[in-house]
Amino acid sequence: MSIQWFPGHMAKAKREVEEKLKLADFVMELVDARAPMSSQNPMLQDVLQQKPKMIVMMKKDLADDKITDKWLRHFSDEGVSAIAIDVNNKADIKRVIQTAKDLGRAKMDKLKEKGINPRPARAMIIGIPNVGKSTLINRLANKKIAQIGDKPGVTKKQQWIKVKNDFELLDTPGILWPKFEDEMVGYRLATIGTIKDQLLPLEDIAAFAIKYMKEYYPAQLEERYGITPEHIDMWDIFVSIGKQRGALESGGNVNFEKVADLFIHDLRSGKLGDMTFETPPES
Ligand SMILES: Nc1nc2c(ncn2[C@@H]2O[C@H](COP(=O)(O)OP(=O)(O)OP(=O)(O)O)[C@@H](O)[C@H]2O)c(=O)[nH]1
């Protein structure tokens, strides 16, 4: 199944981002550390044109550290400065500020060479829904500015916030929607809770994630649900989880929807451990 956004919505979001971008010297592109490529927006590159950008891999506390390191090497090989952060870690926020300051300074030095008076560099945060844009803006601003929600699509409507004396940040982020030409992108984003659950059937999302875990994180599946490599059949796996966790209907049959719901809840809340659902192309 492929997911379609309304083309009108996407075009409007792109126009809005392009408008705001005119004001910014550089961009912080936020991606989810658990699916760093799928949570990038393919349109961003042509929207950005020549603007410098840094990538901030959000939610690293929920991702697999080994794969996060691989992604950081991948972005570095591509010549993009990237950092991985847990938004609730103060040292990580300092690293965001330092990386942004360096990127901004490079841009301002170029202006100085052209004889233009230096001023604080201006940054804008861009990312797909629910990636953590508002939370990061608030941490950088050191106060509550943007609306935060744990459901996609909460950020609404700007001024410049001074981030220490290092740079200025636009108080509203740019939202670009993910694109699902590859249905795997849709499944990865649904698994980590970035797209609305209504877009794909929950049982399909759970089946996708269980299959991925069987291949890459079998120990975590076994530890919580007793699912071993002998469990080959997805039906069998759902029944096992359902019986073990009491996801039953009144007649004692396993309720598949409940199983999918509790599994996805366990996964998103980190109860199944830290995981990443996408590896860099070369690995
Ligand atoms: N564990 C963890 N959670 C995070 C991190 N960053 C953000 N979150 C959570 O992710 C959820 C979404 O964050 P928001 O800041 O609302 O995301 P947004 O990108 O502004 O979302 P929209 O308004 O939908 O565009 C919230 O529940 C945050 O607490 C992080 O580094 N680690």
Please state, in angstroms and rounded to a whole number, the distance separating the CA atoms of residues 34 and 57.
9
Backbone φ and ψ for 142, nearest 5 degrees, come out as: 65, 20
Question: What gap in Å lies between CA 209 and CA 258, rounded to an integer?
Answer: 15
pLDDT digits (tens, 9 = 90+) for 146-157: 555 555 555 544
CA–CA distance, 163 with 269 (Å, rounded to integer): 31
Q: Would you state the pLDDT for residue 177? A: 75
**Which residue type occupies 273?**
G
Mean pLDDT over all residues of the chain?
A: 87
- CATH class, 201-268 region: mainly alpha
> pLDDT of 223-249, one tens digit each?
999 999 888 899 999 999 999 988 888
Q: Flag whether the pTM goes above 0.95.
A: no
- Respond yes or no on whether ipTM tops 0.90: yes
pLDDT at residue 156, rounded to an integer: 47
- In tens, the pLDDT along 20-50 reads 888 899 999 999 999 999 998 877 777 787 8
The CA 270 to ligand 1 mean position distance, Å, reads 14
Cα separation of 50 and 26, whole Å?
9
Domain residue ranges in the chain:
7-175, 201-268
Look up the CATH architecture of domain 7-175. Answer: 3-Layer(aba) Sandwich (3.40)
Task: State both tokens at 229.
Answer: 């490599």
Instruction: Establish whether residue 174 lines the binding site of ligand 1, counting it when its CB lies within 6 angstroms of any ligand atom.
Output: no
- Residue 130, burial from CB neighbour count under 10 angstroms (0-12, 13-18, 19+): buried
Looking at residue 1, its pLDDT comes to: 46
| 164 annotated as a binding-site residue | no
What is the C-alpha separation between 132 and 241, in angstroms, rounded?
31
> Ligand 1 pocket check: which of 87, 135, 268 to mutate, most ligand atoms within 8 Å of Cβ?
135
Give the pLDDT of residue 5. Answer: 57
